[in-house]
Structure 1
């Protein structure tokens, strides 16, 4: 059984993300955990009373939300539970994930600036939470998953098993996987690590895989260029916990896409720490 964490602030963006997740796992036994978080900036001596009121309000909203959700999803192999935590969303997600080890965290992102709070939560989670994270645009169309694109640079990952859930998804949906590599203007595909490329193909040998190369000195622009001319139902990237400078300057391509995804973005968590490098040189996924 898959364990899926569904944070919600009861907005349209988070509701859309949850509906998307339910559709994605409509053929899989899942335990879905709905999480709502709340905080207060009031004085400590009255904060306890305010937090009690906030929790009661959250429980009332969740009851209505869950009732509507069960009308949308009546699969007998889907179960639902709820969690409420008086901390930031990213902190709550990490705390729960340390205990439950979720297969996936699903977040909504407006991408249009009308829900900046939840958009920032998506980015915080991609940056700080040790879990695979799926970020869904508020206008995402729920449709069959057929074309999945994964941005790869063939750098080391801790273990190709980090892609186990992705491979399972591809097999269940009979989807095509495109391994997209953005090359520098003066770079040839022949310069890539041939062994790493072979290992990727060998790992995904049970699904349909093809390679695609695009030249652009800017990785982010290269990925967007591909998305502009090819249909993609899901974009996949590996999100490594980078150096302190990377966090400061927010140069990770994965984290940029988490702010304003044009298609659903699956960020794969990998424990391998990137080496400390100069901020100006950071181009990794």
Structure 2
């Protein structure tokens, strides 16, 4: 059974992502580990010599009480969406978010992480500085990130961008396994620029290798790579976009506000980021 880590701060963004996490767990026949982390403020105990520990204990207790109050709400959401059969366990951890996520990935043998982010206008921030963006570059398991405006709908079409390299093929096989469980198809895009070194023979070889799979290959000639990818997402009605995380700077540019502005009302596609070593 796949194990899915769902870090939450119980915000609206996280609650929306929770529904996606449940549905994804259903697709991959997995279970959820809900993680809430908090950082206690730093006090100089020379100013609080007598009640130093009382302060910490009261803060920890308040976090526990919030955690205890919020969990039933999440279970109610699961029941409302007829997903209450999904196994859920909970972790409350003090300390740095990234550290705790990495620790949980190791301790709980996590296969996927699902997190929320702030929607189309926040995608550039997602890749350049938010908690979700930081997690993206620090973990070694796939990360499914959910924009706040992305209402769940069945995954029928998965987008996959490639440059036809061996590492891309390895990731594509992983995506195909998810696609089959979701009864979805994969649309694979290569943007062929003026200085492209990918031959037609290479493309044909990939098509041959995957001819029995639910996948369609698209080669589009353009020097406007980022715009072409965004157009592809919209016009091919991609429900889930898959990206390889070895080129974070490229993703930062792809979701720059100057590009996402024209897609602002439409670009609410979840992204599954797969870590690939250079």
Bin for the TM-score computed over the shorter chain: 0.7 to 0.9
Q: 2:60 aligns with which of 55, 66, 90?
A: 55
Q: In structure 1, how many angstroms separate the alpha carbons of the residues matched to 2:193 and 2:148?
A: 33
Matches within 5 A, 1:89-128: 89-111=97-119, 112=121, 120-128=130-138
Hey, what does 1:169 align to over in structure 2? 178
Q: CA deviation at 1:71?
A: 1.9
Q: In structure 2, how many angstroms separate the alpha carbons of the residues matched to 1:137 and 1:54?
A: 31
Single out whichever of 188-197 and 94-103 deviates more from structure 2.
Answer: 188-197
Hey, what does 1:281 align to over in structure 2? none
Hey, what does 1:251 align to over in structure 2? 249
Hey, what does 1:283 align to over in structure 2? none
Distance 1:191 1:27, change over 3 A: closer
Single out whichever of 71-80 and 252-261 deviates more from structure 2.
Answer: 252-261
Distance 1:225 1:82, change over 3 A: same
Hey, what does 1:131 align to over in structure 2? 141
Q: In structure 2, how many angstroms separate the alpha carbons of the residues matched to 1:177 and 1:105?
A: 21
Q: In structure 2, how many angstroms separate the alpha carbons of the residues matched to 1:86 and 1:36?
A: 9
* 2:164–2:198 Cα contact (<8 Å) kept: no
Q: TM-score, normalised by structure 2?
A: 0.79
Q: CA deviation at 1:66?
A: 1.9
Distance 1:152 1:199, change over 3 A: farther
Hey, what does 2:226 align to over in structure 1? 220
Structure 1: where are the runs of 5+ without partners? 243-249, 275-285
Distance 1:179 1:164, change over 3 A: closer
* 1:145–1:234 Cα contact (<8 Å) kept: yes
Single out whichever of 44-53 and 84-93 deviates more from structure 2.
Answer: 44-53
Q: Of the two, which has the highest radius of gyration?
A: 2
CA RMSD of aligned residues (A): 3.3
* 1:214–1:226 Cα contact (<8 Å) kept: no
- In the alignment of these two chains, the number of paired residues is 259
Q: In structure 1, how many angstroms separate the alpha carbons of the residues matched to 2:144 and 2:99?
A: 17
* 1:122–1:258 Cα contact (<8 Å) kept: no
Single out whichever of 62-71 and 168-177 deviates more from structure 2.
Answer: 62-71
Q: Quick check: 1:182 aligned with 2:191?
A: yes
Q: Tell me the secondary structure at the aligned position of residue 101 of structure 1.
A: coil
Q: CA deviation at 1:266?
A: 0.1
Distance 1:70 1:256, change over 3 A: same
Q: 2:78 aligns with which of 65, 69, 73?
A: 73
Q: Quick check: 1:236 aligned with 2:242?
A: yes
Distance 1:233 1:194, change over 3 A: closer
Q: Deviations over 1:156-190 (max 9, x none)?
A: 32982x55653332112211100111221454863
Q: TM-score, normalised by structure 1?
A: 0.77
